[in-house]
Amino acid sequence: MKKQLYVLRDILGTNQKVAAEIKAACEERGILVLNLMSSPGAGKTTLLEKLAERLAGRHRMAVIEGDIETERDAERIRAKGVPAWQITTGGACHLEARMIARVLPEVSPDIDFLFIENVGNLVCPAGYDLGERLRIVLLSSPEGDDKPKKYPKAFLTAQVLVITKSDLFPHLPFDVERAKSEALELNPGLQVFVISALTGEGLDDLTAFLVASREALRAGHA
């Protein structure tokens, strides 16, 4: 039992080291790295498609996609004219920093945003730093307003909560205030956005926040 614990600590220790290297390399260039995590289907790729439309022409972005199988999400992003790399984990249910480090040399250093879409899973991705400056957890309304306290680690370690699929609120017993207050009880520092990729609600505010976060990063490294 004790031996197992040491092995786990070593893996996480190595992950932390690689993540710190990624963070330093990207931030030195003024690249804002974001790690998107949620359960499967909460709307990560759809949000990235919408952000690609909103940032187009003004800011440069790239996306690293994490999935167990298929190139589908990277293809969706490329269809928006945004460079995207697909990591297929072949079974692993989260991304690790070394997987990002392997792709990073192919990513242009002249970008403003590097979005990493984690494997759809609200549990273990939260245990792996990928070098991000902002961790974004998404919670979609069909999942239920009780999820933050049931799956606390993602909400505890994120800086941003995006509640998605607000267009479905009228059809669901989803109490958005409960979802927000549960998350904020866990982590009072969370920035909360309520969005719908279908109606566009909240997308301008979220885009403005991301642009401001990236400007703050660049100012800090000027």
| Collapsed DSSP state (helix, strand, coil) of residue 112 | coil
42 binds, among Mg ion, ligand GTP, Zn ion, none (CB under 5 to 8 A by kind): ligand GTP
* Closest to 206 in 3D by CA, of 61, 82, 47, 62: 47
Give the residue ranges of DSSP H helices in the chain: 2-28, 44-55, 72-78, 97-103, 147-150, 152-157, 176-186, 203-220
134-140 β-sheet, strand order: 84-88, 61-67, 113-117, 32-37, 134-140, 160-164, 191-194
Contacting residues toward Mg ion, per CB under 5 A: 44-45, 73
Q: Which of 32, 126, 179, 197 binds ligand GTP (CB under 6 A)?
A: 197
Query: At 34, which helix (H) or strand (E)?
Result: strand 32-37
114-153 footprint of ligand GTP as x/- string (CB under 6 A): ------x---------------------------------
Q: Is 124 in the site for Zn ion (CB under 5 A)?
A: yes
The residue range among 11-19, 81-89, 150-158, 165-173 that interacts with ligand GTP, by the rule CB under 6 A, is 165-173
- Which C-beta is closer to Zn ion: that of 107 or that of 124? 124
Q: Which residue has its beta carbon closest to ligand GTP?
A: 120
Residue 88 to residues 16, 33, 115, Cα–Cα distance (Å): 21, 20, 16
By a kind-dependent CB cut-off of 5 to 8 A, residue 93 interacts, out of ligand GTP, Zn ion, Mg ion, none, with Zn ion
Q: How far is the CB of 83 from Zn ion (least distance, A)?
A: 26
SS3 186: helix
Which phi-psi region, left, alpha or beta, contains residue 65 (left: φ > 0; alpha: ψ -120 to 50)?
Answer: beta
Contact 119, 94 (CB under 8 A): yes
Binding to ligand GTP by CB under 6 A, coded x per residue (else -) over 38-77, reads x-xxxxxxx--------------------------x----
Q: Which does 124 bind (CB under 5 to 8 A by kind): ligand GTP, Zn ion, Mg ion, none?
A: Zn ion
Using CB under 5 A, which residues numbered 47 to 106 contact Zn ion?
93-94
Q: Which residues bind ligand GTP (CB under 6 A)?
A: 38, 40-46, 73, 120, 164-165, 167-168, 196-198
Binding site for Zn ion (CB under 5 A): 93-94, 124
